[in-house]
């Protein structure tokens, strides 16, 4: 049942001029460089102390600057470390999830964002027998096993997929890897259609044999996916332009029950794939999320069915006219927490109709059917200078409070945190090169923060004196 404008407007009026709805999630803002940052909170003795762990200390090894007291370890390194098969670790690490193994083992599934033919890459994902979707494609996932004593192992989870960018961890303990490329068979040397989501099981290698795309989720330039554990609905982002991409919802068919291996059994047209149509507190249609210029902006969300989810003749995002759906530029990482989905829009410039920005984080509340702007980064005037952040991409919710965000912007690249009221602080800086950070995620016990330097492809484990972020 759609959320009518009358319902949304009335509900908003009860919560304060339609700007902020109550809920368990905190209101994130940003600083420095914010478009609508709130003033630092005051305490009895003056301004609250700065959040975070202090300034970053340059790395004598020239790889990763961290606050004092923190250390890192290289887990995998493309062209340096080896798989169980003796082949090289593939390159271009991207989205990652962690899983709890036996006796203190942590399992990680790691995407490798490799686009196009295998011959274009020095270290593609090896074509392990039984785990290959398209033998022409270079991408895929590896599974990494780390032990408390420092031992590691790595093997292929899926191969022959294209441009595996982000994805999402499922409530039943598997990884959904997303192809951010929708080449058809015959394009760029591909032998099968691409633009799909695949499931990878870190615990059961046999479950990954004979990879099958989850066509019910649609064929487009996928970025990330999360599953609502209460309803089973899937939410997905699309990173594309001309026109800007969309945020999708997949509604499972009646009687469907999620679980290991169930998604691959779905019919190609199972359930309903939908795109959002947003409106503001006054009932006005919102064409693009870049229209929001203030922290706490809330939009109501209706959902519109996708006519042809496989995009046989027209790309999915192009099947809608101007006032049919709400778009956003570079819809990137997502993370399920606090009863909803945190969603990143990496930046907006001339390709978007609203206010230019260097990053947004939205929170979609499925029960209220609202999108609330939590983080808003102003345009970074000097990306080569430490201090401001731009281009959020992969994201996670920290067990210590707030968000941890991987930067994919201009100039210096960071991992940074944001408190509930949006005060930002650095966690790490890439001192090796200008490659983006990806795959930011905590270990199941919360003691280790894993992150990747995408190029050449380095997985890092960061440890230190983590502490609860004080409530602002």
79 within some domain? yes
Q: Is residue 255 a part of any domain in this protein?
A: yes
Q: How far apart are the first and last CA of the chain?
A: 37
Asked whether residue 112 is assigned to any structural domain, the reply reads: yes
Task: Return the number of other C-beta atoms located less than 10 Å from residue 387's C-beta.
Answer: 12
| 284 assigned to some structural domain | yes
Q: 203: domain CATH number? A: 2.120.10.30
By DSSP bridging, strand 370-376 and strand 392-397 are: unpaired
Please answer whether residues 461 and 96 qualify as being in contact, where contact means their C-beta atoms are separated by less than 8 angstroms. no
Domain that holds residue 143: 5-463
Instruction: Spell out the per-residue pLDDT of the chain, length 472, in tens.
Output: 555 444 544 444 333 322 222 222 333 433 333 333 333 333 344 566 778 899 999 999 999 999 999 999 999 999 999 999 999 999 999 999 999 999 899 999 999 999 999 999 999 999 999 999 999 999 999 999 999 989 999 999 999 999 999 999 999 999 999 999 999 999 999 999 999 999 999 999 999 999 999 999 999 999 999 999 999 999 999 999 999 999 999 999 999 999 999 999 999 999 999 999 999 999 999 999 999 999 899 999 999 999 999 999 999 999 999 889 999 999 999 999 999 999 999 999 999 999 999 999 999 999 999 999 999 999 999 999 888 899 999 999 999 999 999 999 999 999 999 887 777 899 999 999 999 999 999 999 999 999 999 999 999 999 999 998 776 5
Q: Is 472 a member of any domain?
A: no
ω into 243 cis (within 30 of 0): yes
Q: Is residue 471 part of a domain?
A: no
Q: Is residue 455 situated within a structural domain?
A: yes
Residue 468 lies in a domain: no
Q: How many domains does the chain have?
A: 1
pTM above 0.95, yes or no: no
């Amino acid at each position: 049942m759609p959320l009518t404008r009358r319902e949304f407007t009335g509900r908003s009026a009860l919560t304060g001029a339609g700007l902020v709805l109550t809920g368990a999630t905190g209101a994130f803002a940003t600083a420095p460089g914010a478009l609508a940052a709130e003033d630092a909170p005051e305490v009895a003795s003056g301004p609250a102390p700065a959040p975070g762990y202090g300034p970053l200390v340059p790395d004598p090894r020239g790889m990763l600057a961290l606050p004092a007291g923190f250390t890192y370890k290289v887990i995998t390194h493309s062209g340096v470390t080896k798989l169980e098969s003796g082949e090289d670790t593939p390159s271009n690490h991207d989205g990652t999830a962690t899983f709890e193994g036996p006796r203190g083992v942590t399992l990680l599934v790691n995407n490798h964002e490799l686009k196009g033919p295998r011959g274009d890459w020095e270290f593609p994902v090896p074509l392990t027998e039984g785990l290959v979707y398209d033998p022409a494609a270079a991408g895929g996932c590896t599974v990494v096993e780390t032990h408390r004593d420092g031992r590691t192992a790595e093997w292929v989870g899926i191969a022959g997929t294209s441009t595996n960018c982000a994805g999402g961890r499922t409530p039943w303990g598997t990884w959904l890897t997303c192809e951010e490329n929708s080449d058809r068979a015959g394009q760029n040397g591909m032998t099968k259609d691409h633009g799909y989501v695949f499931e990878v099981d870190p615990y059961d290698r046999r479950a990954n044999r004979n990879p099958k795309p989850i066509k019910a989720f649609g064929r487009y330039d996928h970025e990330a996916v999360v599953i609502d554990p209460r309803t089973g609905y899937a939410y997905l982002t699309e990173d594309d332009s001309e026109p800007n991409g969309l945020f999708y919802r997949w509604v499972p068919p009646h009687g469907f029950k999620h679980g290991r291996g169930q998604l691959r059994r779905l019919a190609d047209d199972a359930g309903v794939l939908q795109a959002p149509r947003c409106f503001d507190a006054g009932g006005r249609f919102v064409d693009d999320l870049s229209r929001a210029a203030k922290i706490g902006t809330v939009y109501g969300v209706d959902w519109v069915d996708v006519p042809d989810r496989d995009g046989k003749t027209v790309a999915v995002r192009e099947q809608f006219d101007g006032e049919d759906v709400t778009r956003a530029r570079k819809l990137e990482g997502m993370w399920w927490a606090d009863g909803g989905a945190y969603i990143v829009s990496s930046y907006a410039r001339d390709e978007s109709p609203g206010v230019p920005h260097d990053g947004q984080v939205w929170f979609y509340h499925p029960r209220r059917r609202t999108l609330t702007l939590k983080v808003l980064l102003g345009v970074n005037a000097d990306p080569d200078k430490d201090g401001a952040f731009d281009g959020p991409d992969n994201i996670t919710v920290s067990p210590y409070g707030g968000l941890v965000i991987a930067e994919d912007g201009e100039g210096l690249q960071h991992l940074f945190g944001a408190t509930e009221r949006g005060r930002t602080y650095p966690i790490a800086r890439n001192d090796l090169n200008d490659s983006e950070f990806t795959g930011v995620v905590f270990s199941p016990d919360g003691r280790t923060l894993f992150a990747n330097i995408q190029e050449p492809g380095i997985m890092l484990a960061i440890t230190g004196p983590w502490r609860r972020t004080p409530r602002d």
